[in-house]
Amino acid sequence: MDVRYIYKLEKHYHRVLSEILFSNEVISSIKKLEKTSIEDRKEIKEKWLQTNTIETLLERLVRFYIYGMGAKKLNIIDAYHSPLSSDVAFETVDAIIFIDTKTIDKKSNPGDINSIPFKPNQITFKNKPLYGGEHKSLDNDEVFHFSGTNFPNNSTKITKNGIYRNKKPILTFIFGLHYLSSKNLITSTLFEEREMYLASMPHYFVADEYFENDIISNFKSYDYIDSDNEYKKYPNYKPFKNASNKTLIPFKPNPEGRGAIFYFEPGKKSPLFNNSDLLWGKPKKEKHKLYDFFLAVLYGSAARTLKTKFTENPDEKWRLKQYFFD
């Protein structure tokens, strides 16, 4: 499929979705959402079991306006019939549209404020391995080469290379809303980072042609080999506590970030990506029950793209539309 045709569709649907999601009706509805969340804050906190109280409400709002006022504008002809997709997924006359809603809490996820976060099923591009290149050992400053860590994309029998059943391109969008959970603030002037945005994430072929598959800025989390089923599948990659019989080189794959330490084992390859070096990690205590073990990293499980990736590129700044509440 012609990459220029896909690029043109990305621009078209980003414009139409922006008209819907940045409409006065949606902005008014978000302000109502904020008001209710503040008024019922105590009851919601006591009776709502999830930590993110805004997420369900935003998803509900997006579905209402997309399938309501947006159905005709978008030429929706059917639902998307696979769970491997974003929160909102549907078929139009010429594309498959994924829209994933992201509610970004300044208190618990400050690292997401300047980024666009996403997971594998929410994008189609095949990013180049992240953090590849020359690194220094934290033990002795010895320099070594690390191939990088992979990030999977939405690729199944019916979505290979971002094309649905070899007929229609899958176009992926992220609709984000900042909020402050400690006070349930979204649009209030008391909340400095009050913003919502719509990002068009490059399609598989577009990312290759226009971005050289360099979209991801950093990883937010990783998937490890940490279950009985995975131990059976990858018997040579089981967790261990004592590393005395292994050669592990500690280093920081992303020294510019929070500086998480991982361990490189020379000569050991990833069980999923044969051309990629293996990483071992020790998750934080609050993040994983096996925090005291070395765990084999399968891949990045959640990623971020800095907003500046688009806003500082004159040809691609259209991909990120931002609205800053008055």
Q: Where in the chain are the domains? A: 3-127+153-219+304-324, 220-302
**pLDDT (0 to 100) of residue 275:** 83
Placement of tokens 């809490």 in the chain: 105
Helix residue spans in the chain (DSSP H): 3-21, 24-39, 41-47, 53-67, 70-74, 204-211, 228-233, 308-311
> What integer pLDDT is reported at residue 49 of this predicted model?
53
**Pairwise CA distance, residues 44 & 22, whole Å:** 27
CA–CA dist 123, 136 (Å, integer): 32
Low-confidence ranges of the chain (pLDDT < 70): 41-42, 44-51, 257-258
Q: Does domain 3-127+153-219+304-324 have CATH number 3.40.600.20?
A: yes
The dihedral over CA atoms of 299, 82, 157, 132, expressed in degrees to the nearest 10, equals: -20
Share of the chain above pLDDT 90, in %: 80
Neighbour tally for 51: CB within 10 Å: 10
* 3-class state of residue 263 by DSSP: strand
Give the DSSP H/E element, type plus range, for residue 233.
helix 228-233
70 with 13: CB under 8 angstroms?
no
Predicted confidence at residue 37, as pLDDT, reads: 82
Closest C-alpha among 203, 222, 223 to residue 213: 203
pTM of the predicted model as reported, rounded to 2 decimal places? 0.93
| 238 Cα distance to chain centroid | 27
What is the share, in percent, of the chain residues with pLDDT greater than 70? 96
Whole-number pLDDT of residue 308: 98
Q: List pLDDT tens digits, range 62-105.
A: 999 999 989 999 999 999 999 999 989 999 999 999 999 999 99
- pLDDT digits over 252-303, tens only? 999 876 678 999 999 999 999 878 999 999 987 777 888 889 999 999 999 9
Predicted confidence at residue 44, as pLDDT, reads 66
